[in-house]
Amino acid sequence: MPGANYVIYRRTKDGLLCRWLVIPGWLSALVLALIVAGAVHLVLRAPEMASMWDLKRRVSEARTQRSQWRKELMAMQVRLGDMWREIEPVATFNGKLSALTSPDPQVASLGAPFAAGLGYAGQQHLSRQLADLARSLLEETAFQQGRQRQLAAILRARALEFAAKPSIWPVHGPINSPFGYRYSGPGREFHKGIDIGAAVGTPIKAPADGKVTWVGYESGYGLMVVLEHRHGVSTAYAHLKEAMVNEGDDVVRGKVIAYTGMSGRSTGAHLHYEVRVNGQPVEPLNYMLD
């Protein structure tokens, strides 16, 4: 009963019971009151604790879902970047086709795919970037598809003209010296064509239908052949070993017109190849589709 003391006995080695511990009644009452108070507190806090556990669970699920979304966004970025890079050669090829159908081709340039960060703070920004990239990708794809249809229609209507425009490599090999300015000796000079590495005696094929307008030796160029095509386009081939055509000959695309050599000013076997439009040298790579 409340207020009574509680006595705990223990048995001695002789088998007798002796008082071991006396617990005051007020202490037991206090412990009981604390137990009851704790139980009441737990009962009252139960909804709040349940809410906190539910919040913790939802936060954990949100973090897991957010991490998964981030992985999916990054995977999407990689896929879109790959698709974007796949369009680049299509745009380049379309630009080369434009060079064959227009004297002043406009080549659309593609921007490089962006590199996004991985932090949580940038996730919304990454999502917007991916949306912009996907939209640009769709627009660029539609543009290039429309451009190809337009170019195909032009090429069909101008098949004869296309046959007379350079479009294949005269020889295949590494480009040892590109078109444009290069350093030569103490200064720099403008390289009017490209140097294609090829062993002595490699056959050189006409890149388009045309007429031979020059076969002979020219200072620095050595033995040289010049073909005149249509619409002011001509091609020149230098450092030859042997010419297989004569001035005035008509040639068709793919015909062997000469063999590579080292004549003229040359440091090794190669073909110096030029494309000229109205007498002005232009980038030959724009006329080499194969």
Residue 261 — pLDDT band, cuts 50, 70, 90?
Answer: very high
Q: Does the structure show a pLDDT above 90 at 193? A: yes
Q: pLDDT tens digit string along 124-142?
A: 666 777 777 777 777 777 7
Q: Does the structure show a pLDDT above 50 at 68? A: yes
Q: Does the structure show a pLDDT above 80 at 255? A: yes
Burial 167-177 (b: 16+ CB within 10 A, else e): bebbbebeeeb
Residue 49 — pLDDT band, cuts 50, 70, 90?
Answer: confident
Third-level CATH fold of 175-287: Glucose Permease (Domain IIA) (2.70.70)
What is the structure's pLDDT at 3?
Answer: 59
Confirm if 237 and 204 have CB atoms less than 8 A apart.
yes
Residue 238 class from Cβ within 10 Å (0-12 exposed, 13-18 middle, 19+ buried)?
A: buried
Average pLDDT, integer, range 167-188:
87
Q: Does the structure show a pLDDT above 60 at 28? A: yes
Average pLDDT, integer, range 255-271:
94
Q: Does the structure show a pLDDT above 60 at 59? A: yes
* Residue 70 CB neighbours (<10 A): 17
Q: pLDDT tens digit string along 163-174?
A: 778 989 999 999
Q: Give the highest mean pLDDT range of 64-68, 78-82, 146-150, 193-197.
A: 193-197
What is the structure's pLDDT at 74?
Answer: 75
What is the structure's pLDDT at 247?
Answer: 96
Neighbouring residues of 223: CB distance < 8 A, sequence distance ≥ 6 = 216, 217, 238, 239, 240, 241, 242, 243, 258, 261, 263, 264
What is the structure's pLDDT at 33?
Answer: 81
What is the structure's pLDDT at 216?
Answer: 95
Residue 24 — pLDDT band, cuts 50, 70, 90?
Answer: confident
Q: Give the highest mean pLDDT range of 7-16, 178-187, 218-227.
A: 218-227
Pairing state between β 233-243 and 175-177: unpaired
Q: How many whole angstroms separate alpha carbon 50 and alpha carbon 221?
A: 90
Average pLDDT, integer, range 45-66:
78
Q: Rg of the Cα trace of the chain?
A: 43
